[in-house]
Every structure is written in C-alpha cells, then in structure tokens.
Amino acid sequence: MKPVLLLIPGMLNDARVWEQVTPYLQNDADICIANVLSQGGIVEMARDAWAQVANVPPDTPLVLCGFSMGGYVAIEMMANNARPVMALGLLDTSARPESREGEMVREKTIAAIERDFPKVVEGILQFGTHAGSHADAVLMERMRQMMLGVGPQAAIRQNRAIASRGDHRGRLAMLDIAALVMCGRDDRITPPALSQELAALIPGARLEWIEQAGHMTPMEQPASVAALLKTLL
C-alpha cells in the first residue's frame, strides 16, 4: 500500500516549490500539497491541511513534510493530530516560537512589503539561497516568479501567522514516530543550529544536511530532498 505524502510549502511558496521534488517520489507515494496562502494563522493552516487528507483511509500510512513555515504547520498538526501519522519530515525549519526581536523584524518586513514588494523578494532570493544558485538564472527566475505570484497580501498574512505561532516543543519531545530533520548546509534564514536543536528535541530523530543549498532546498537541491524523503516512505 502506498503511503500518502502531504507536502507543506513555506512562506511565499505555492505548489511550485515542490515541483522538482515530486517526480522522484511519484512511484513511492500518493502526493498531496497543502495550500497555505489564504489563512490568517498557523492553526488555520494546520486545520486546512488536515482537511486535505481527511478522506485518506485510516489504514493508509500518512507522512507529513513541512518546509520552513510549512514546518511550523506540520508541528501544529502533530500537536493537534486528527489521525495517526507514520513519519514526519521537517525541512529548514525550527521548533522555537517567535522571539520579541523576531516580532520586531517581521513588522519591519511587513512595512517593507507594503512599500516595495519586488525589492523584498529580491532580498529574500539573495539571502535565502546558496551562492552557487545565484549563477543559475533559470532557477532564480523560477523562484522569483513563484514569490511574486504569491503576492504581497499573502506575504503579510504569512508573516503575521509566523509571528503568532505556538510553542509545541513539549509535544515534539513526546513524539514516537520516525522523524527526519533536514537543512541546507548554508541556510541563513533558519540556520543549521536550529535544525540541530530540533533534531535533539524529537526522540530518535535523524538529522541530515543538504549540501550546496541555502534555505530554498526543495528548489536548489530537489534530488537530494527527494532522496531523503524516500527514506521516510
């Protein structure tokens, strides 16, 4: 029986963030991609993600994988799980709640989005990717068009959702499922130390580094991400 794999995009991402990953996995799982563009909070994103897999039969294995903000959604799903989950993948994310400093940075980011959204996108592209990715004009343009397509209003909602995310570290410390924490070796948005902390928190979790990648691992190194996800399937 094929498992169902629910992939959850990050901030300023839609299904396109996974489009280079999923071809590697189509023989191993039935794939669903969560929509996290319209909700006002992480709790609502988790609720809607659960609704997307509500018709999956109880005896079908379910695997969750959240990227960046999608990791916060996956963690929220595990804190309020509607059904058993076979395995959990967490990619370039963190278990920490937002700090006061982080809240202030997000308010500044929201103001910048309101002033000049394309400029904010360019900054994210440069800061959120590995230096080697910058020379790949096709890749950079794919990311740019995806982020611009998500738009400023969704970006503002997502920043506010992230700022108000819950603290579920206690629940993570009680998990008893296969868990895989993955991170781009050169991630500057959610630095590797946060993945080390996250992996240490979940009993038995594996920690894997993705080389030649910054934060945007599903688009920078899709084959590596897919190979790691196959180990959960």
Tokens standing for 61? 């294995």
Over residues 65-70, mean pLDDT: 98
CATH class given for the domain over 4-98+160-230: alpha beta
Q: Is residue 35 scored above 90 in pLDDT?
A: yes
* pLDDT value for 208: 98
Over residues 136-159, mean pLDDT: 98
- 120 to each of 8, 123, 128, 181, 207, how far by Cα in Å? 23, 5, 12, 28, 31
pTM to 2 decimals? 0.97
* pLDDT value for 199: 98
In DSSP terms, 182 is beta-bridged to 91, 208
Q: Is residue 1 scored above 90 in pLDDT?
A: no
What single-letter amino acid sits at 191? P
Burial (CB < 10 A; 0-12, 13-18, 19+), residue 95, is: buried
The closest alpha carbon to 6, from 87, 98, 104, belongs to 87
Over residues 105-111, mean pLDDT: 95
Report the C-alpha gap between 230 and 211 in whole angstroms.
17
Q: Is residue 117 scored above 90 in pLDDT?
A: yes
- Alpha-carbon torsion (109, 113, 116, 122), positive or negative: positive
- 139 to each of 59, 144, 156, 178, 228, how far by Cα in Å? 39, 9, 24, 32, 21
